[in-house]
Chains A and B, each alone.
Chain A
């Protein structure tokens, strides 16, 4: 522990007392599990949705962080899974459950994740009626053979229809893309980017394909069934993403996220700036009062526990002020706006720049981060090594 951490007790650390104004709800249903996916989902079991909704209601009712008063929130994010796999009626019920606990602030951001195949006009009507004002669409690729390769259940045709529908009903939306798919060339990826830009989405998230333990992609790659994209190529595709999207007036505001002016994801910025949030559903993790609580990742265990009046939480991490400060820096650096050291000090009581002087100077020397008045920022070169940086600072 560093010296200035001693001041922990004297300087009140404000992060402990910030009120919660952000909510995440995890909907763990998908039609089919995509080959690369290791999320907490259950595939092809739509008949479990009513049971899930009951469990969710119970989780909200019994949450130690909620009381009988409605909690006013600035951001509400329904993620998955595929929330739009719920029928229009089930979606209505989901929102009625949420409205028993939460009240949207007048300018709140209310996002839902959707896949192109389930997004019908009647569901869009329900979403609009309950106040959803942002849709994040899982496009992944504009090429049917790539979609098949990824084991997605939709076609490019369906994607285009879905985007049109969204554009007619919501001004704010985001498209998710995947690059470095085995076999994908640079030219192909560039085409994909241009195609995405042609729809003028206010927001784009672009992720390198990753191989997670337990997925089919992981085992197939390890068996040598296919060759994953060469690392150098992946890096070049990433750099191409940044240049193409920047050229098209998107602000590269986080490692994988790009937004037109005023369209950054407010909800995700909550995560990266270390403000508190509550999260519900299997595998969801809350951050409140300086503690991280994680729910059980298995949807069945999560439901069983709630049905048996047990807490769905499997682990709680109590972070010390110093751990908080380090985490804020490690995660905050993922944002290109950088980390304001004064704010960090005020929020945690830790003078991180003093504690980690050698480490920070090393990183500056490597050209991975740079120092500006009151602020540390990641460089373009550093973006490629964000985890390396995090593991040095954490």
Chain B
């Protein structure tokens, strides 16, 4: 029942009765992007020939990893009961680091398809995303996806949808985004159940900027949802919050490529291109209006996404500092949720303190840096932002352990606390609670989702979960547990800075902030891990962890006596060559401290607290 090819290719104005705006939301990997593919295919927006999996995931990193990190908008035309409808779809990311992308997308819609995997059922991000949609009053259509899987638990999943999310499961759809089964019912539900937008094209223009993207040829592409009024090429517009005034150079829709048109009207989703060249000059969440016929007030904006983790990035070659600055600058052109500031370390020299939304975000930025530039980097262990109340009464935010002032001048040391929502098999509740208790968790409650699964809520220090909680949860629950978190505030804790000395020299970049009660244990684990990461030298290397000058743990790396393979004959040479080349490559990633070479991995190993036990 796909629409005819004729009406799909054109962008342009549409009466609001025939417009539906919706997001696809779900837990990670439940099939959002695959369903978007099907909707594109079955509406005829793309042909089978042009099709590739997860079509909308156009960033390299998305295609490499098979995950969505950025929301993607696309306009479809669909023929239904004799009328042509414009369906504006926004595919969203499922990973918790990019949750803010979901909230932004929802603000541009009247409805949401909530996908739930027919086997995995309701998971932590299903809950988080469903609540985000409920909060802004969207019409939610539950869709059980992957019904083609050999093993499904559709009935139980529907129970979960009712009990956990409070949605009417009898209205849920059952589809396979992979095979296309049931996708026609999705189109039908979108048109029948999601309300059309309510604005008027004759009112003064109010358009919400819900995303932006940097294009090296055309400057900044601004994604908008028109709430009231209309916008056309040549219009003089004003950004209501930032106050900038620009002329619209191009207006259009994503079908799925940028397709320009004369104008867009109330209720529609599309893009504009103006003279804006830098991403930072456009504020996502801002309202666009006409300079000569202004709207009375701006639409409610967004909360800025908050950087949760920080780490230092240092070029191994000091001469690469400026090059690194350029590369980071380029990176932030595409990604305004990432920040960087110059900093110095006695150990590592000149570098940058970078802020990220979470660990996945950090990993992605770092990988892109590595792919796109050829700077060898040392990255320090990530940390959260602390709040310090100083003796004099000032409050100081701290995102680098090196900057912790003298203990005597600190009145209160505060750390960010997250509310963490776990969904786990009931048989794993015991292990989970033990994990949380070890991480200074504060138990809130447990709610059973059915006979076999439960939702457990804890308040935990962000620092305790951000680094490896997710991996540990996965392994403790054999992959079945999921988690979602949200920072709820700061709390005072007995925190101290732990220093590390390598061959009696303090290496500032290895310093961490730890809770006093577990400092000894962490210190012992840390020097042990460093011992594994730093290879033997021709002399002994003492490793020490210290708090306020007092040594709390030590290890010694014994001297290297030999490094020689006994046999090197014809058949061994190829293998040996590769081994030597690998060792040589490894050496490039070493930083020299006095006489000791410390590899990149050592800086990250300081946080692998999970291995302390």
Binding site for B on A (CB under 8 A): 24, 26, 207-208, 210, 231-232, 234-235, 238, 255-256, 268, 271-272, 277, 279, 283-287, 292, 294, 315, 317, 327, 330-331, 334, 383-388, 390-392, 394
Whether B565 and A391, one on each chain, are in contact in the complex, defined by CB atoms closer than 8 angstroms, is: no
Q: Which chain B residues lie closer than 8 Å to A387 at the CB level?
A: 563-565, 579-580, 583
Assembled-state Cα–Cα distance A301/B581 (Å): 28
Is the pair B564, A271 in contact by a Cβ cutoff of 8 Å?
Answer: no
Question: Which residues of B from 563 to 613 have beta carbons under 8 Å from A?
Answer: 563-571, 573-574, 576-577, 579-581, 583-584, 587
Residues of A within 8 A of B571 (CB): 24, 26, 279, 283-285, 294
C-alpha spacing A390/B587, complex, angstroms? 13
**Contact indicator per residue, chain B 541-568, by CB within 8 Å of chain A (1) or not (0):** 0000000000000000010011111111
Asked whether B564 lies within 8 Å of A331 as measured between CB atoms, the reply is no
The docked-state distance in angstroms from the alpha carbon of A285 to that of B571 is: 5
A234 to B560, CA, bound (A): 12
From A207, A231, A292, A385, give the contact of B566 (CB < 8 A): A207
Question: Would you mind naming 17 contact pairs between A and B with Cβ atoms under 8 Å apart?
Answer: A207-B567, A231-B558, A256-B566, A271-B570, A271-B573, A272-B568, A284-B570, A285-B571, A287-B570, A327-B573, A331-B568, A384-B564, A386-B563, A387-B565, A388-B564, A391-B579, A391-B583
Rounded to whole angstroms, the CA-CA distance of A330 and B566 in the bound complex is: 14
**B587 and A391 contact, CB distance less than 8 A:** yes
Q: Are B574 and A271 in contact (CB under 8 A)?
A: no
- From A334, A383, A384, A385, contact of B568 by CB (8 A): A334
**Whole-angstrom distance between the alpha carbons of A390 and B573 in the complex?**
12
- For the complex formed, measure the closest distance between the CB of A22 and the CB atoms of chain B, giving whole angstroms: 9
Assuming the contacts A231-B562, A391-B587, asked whether A331 and B569 have C-beta atoms less than 8 A apart, the reply is no
On whether the beta carbons of A394 and B580 are closer than 8 Å, the reply is yes
Question: In the assembly, what is the distance between CA of A317 and CA of B292, in Å?
Answer: 70
> Are the CB atoms of A210 and B583 closer together than 8 Å?
no
Q: How far is the CA of A238 from the CA of B576 in the complex (A)?
A: 21
Chain A to chain B: the 5 pairs with minimum beta-carbon distance, closest first: A391-B583, A207-B566, A394-B580, A384-B562, A391-B580
Q: Does A390 lie within 8 Å of B580, measured CB to CB?
A: yes
Closest to B578 in A: A317
CB distance from B549 to the nearest CB of A (A): 34
Task: Give A124 to B573 CA distance when docked, in angstroms.
Answer: 31
Q: Which among B566, B567, B577 has the greatest number of chain A C-beta atoms within 10 A?
A: B566
Q: Which of B246-261 contact A (CB under 8 A)?
A: none
B317 to chain A, nearest CB (A): 15
A294 touches B574 (CB 8 A): yes
9 more A-B contacts (CB under 8 A) besides A255-B564, A256-B566, A315-B574?
A255-B566, A285-B571, A287-B570, A294-B574, A317-B577, A387-B564, A391-B587, A394-B577, A394-B580
Chain B residues within an 8 Å CB radius of A391: 579-581, 583-584, 587
Other-chain residue from B565, B568, B573, B581 in contact with A285 (beta carbon distance below 8 A): B573
Please report the C-alpha to C-alpha distance between residue A42 and residue B361 in the assembled complex, in whole angstroms.
Answer: 49
Q: How far is the CA of A388 from the CA of B570 in the complex (A)?
A: 20
A26 to B584, CA, bound (A): 31
Name which residue of chain B comes closest to A293, CB basis: B574
Please indicate the chain B residues that have their CB under 8 angstroms from the CB of A317 in the complex.
574, 577
Chain A residues in 8 Å Cβ range of B570:
24, 271, 277, 279, 284-287
- Give the complex CA separation of A210 and B566 in angstroms: 8
Q: Residue of B at shortest CB range from A323?
A: B577
Chain B residues within 8 Å of A390, by CB: 576, 580
Whether the Cβ atoms of B580 and A330 lie closer than 8 Å is yes
Query: Which residues of B does A touch, CB under 8 Å?
Result: 558, 561-571, 573-574, 576-577, 579-581, 583-584, 587
Q: A287-B573, A327-B573 are in contact. Are A392 and B564 (CB under 8 A)?
A: no
Majority secondary structure of chain A interface residues (helix, strand, loop or mixed): mixed
Bound Cα distance A210, B562 (Å): 13
B584 touches A394 (CB 8 A): yes
Cα(A234)–Cα(B571), bound, Å = 25
Chain A residues with Cβ under 8 A from B569's Cβ?
Answer: 268, 271
Whether A208 contacts B566 by the Cβ 8 Å rule is yes
Contact yes or no, B577 A210, CB < 8 A: no
The answer to whether B564 and A385 have CB atoms under 8 Å apart is: yes
B558 nearest CB neighbor, chain A only: A231
- Specify which of A26, A285, A390 lies most central, judged by the most chain B CB atoms within 10 Å of its CB: A390
Contact A394 B581 (CB under 8 A): yes
Q: How far is the CA of A349 from the CA of B587 in the complex (A)?
A: 27
- How far, in Å, is A207 (CB) from chain B's closest CB? 4
A317 to B577 alpha-carbon distance, docked (Å): 11
Residues of A within 8 A of B574 (CB): 285, 292, 294, 315, 317
Q: A92 to chain B: closest CB distance in Å?
A: 26
Chain B residue nearest to A271 in the complex (CB): B570
Q: Roughly how many angstroms separate A327 CA and B584 CA in the complex, as a whole number?
A: 13
Who on chain B is nearest to A330 by CB? B580
Residue of B nearest to A292 (CB): B574
Report B566 CB to chain A, min CB distance, Å: 4
- Other-chain residue from B562, B576, B579 in contact with A234 (beta carbon distance below 8 A): B562
A81 CB, min distance to chain B CBs, angstroms: 12
Q: Give Cα A272–Cα B568 distance, bound, in whole angstroms.
A: 8
Distance in angstroms from B578 CB to nearest chain A CB is 9
Distance in angstroms between the alpha carbons of A388 and B562 in the assembled complex: 9
CB closest chain-A residue, reference B585: A391
The interface residues of chain B lying within 8 Å CB-to-CB of A238 are: 562
B573 pairs with A384, CB closer than 8 A: no
Measured between C-beta atoms, what is the minimum distance from B138 to chain A in Å? 55
Contacts of A292 on B, CB cut-off 8 Å? 573-574
Tell me the nearest residue of chain B to A274, going by C-beta.
Answer: B573
CB distance from B259 to the nearest CB of A (A): 47
Chain B residue nearest to A319 (CB atoms) is B577
Is the pair B567, A256 in contact by a Cβ cutoff of 8 Å?
Answer: yes
Within the complex, the shortest CB–CB distance from B560 to chain A, in Å, comes to: 8
User: Is the pair A385, B562 in contact by a Cβ cutoff of 8 Å?
Assistant: yes
List of B residues within 8 angstroms of A315 by Cβ: 574
Cα A383 to Cα B567 in complex, Å, equals 13
Q: How far is the CB of A45 from chain B (nearest CB, A)?
A: 21
CA distance A118 to B580 in the complex (A): 37
Who on chain A is nearest to B569 by CB? A271
Nearest CB in chain B: distance from A9 CB, A: 24
Please pick, from B561, B567, B579, B583, the residue contacting A232 in the complex, using a CB distance under 8 A: B561
B558 cross-chain contacts in A, Cβ below 8 A: 231
Q: State the Cβ distance, A242 to closest chain B Cβ, in Å.
A: 13
A166 to B480, CA, bound (A): 66
Contact residues in B for A384 (Cβ distance below 8 Å): 561-564
Contacts of B584 on A, CB cut-off 8 Å? 391-392, 394
Nearest B residue to A270 by beta-carbon distance? B570
Closest Cβ of chain A to B589, distance in Å, is 13
B577, chain A: closest CB distance, angstroms: 6
In the bound complex, what is the Cα–Cα distance between A279 and B571 (angstroms)? Answer: 8
In the assembled complex, the CB of A51 is this many whole angstroms from the nearest CB of chain B, namely 22
Residues of A within 8 A of B561 (CB): 231-232, 234-235, 384
> Closest residue to B581 on the A side, CB-wise?
A394
Complex Cα distance, B579 from A198, in Å, reads: 38
Indicate if the CB atoms of A210 and B565 lie closer than 8 Å.
Answer: yes
In the assembly, what is the distance between CA of A238 and CA of B561, in Å? 12
B157 to chain A, nearest CB (A): 43
The answer to whether A331 and B573 touch across the interface, beta carbons within 8 angstroms, is yes
B595–chain A nearest beta-carbon distance, Å: 12
Chain A residue with minimal CB distance to B565? A387
Q: How far is A208 from B573 in the complex, measured between Cα atoms in Å?
A: 18
Indicate the member of B561, B564, B569, B581 with the most A CB atoms within 10 Å. B564
Please give, as numbers and ranges, the residues of chain A lying within 8 Å of B563 by CB-CB distance: 384-388
**A384 vs B566: C-alpha distance when bound (angstroms):** 10
A residues near B579, Cβ cutoff 8 Å: 387, 391
Interchain CB contact under 8 A, A235 and B562: yes
CA distance A394 to B584 in the complex (A): 8
Q: What distance in Å separates the Cβ of A268 from its nearest Cβ neighbour in chain B?
A: 6
Residues of A near B587 (CB, < 8 A) are 391-392
Which of A272, A327, A386, A394: most chain B Cβ within 10 A? A394
Contact A386 B573 (CB under 8 A): no
Bound-state CA distance A385–B579 (Å) is 15
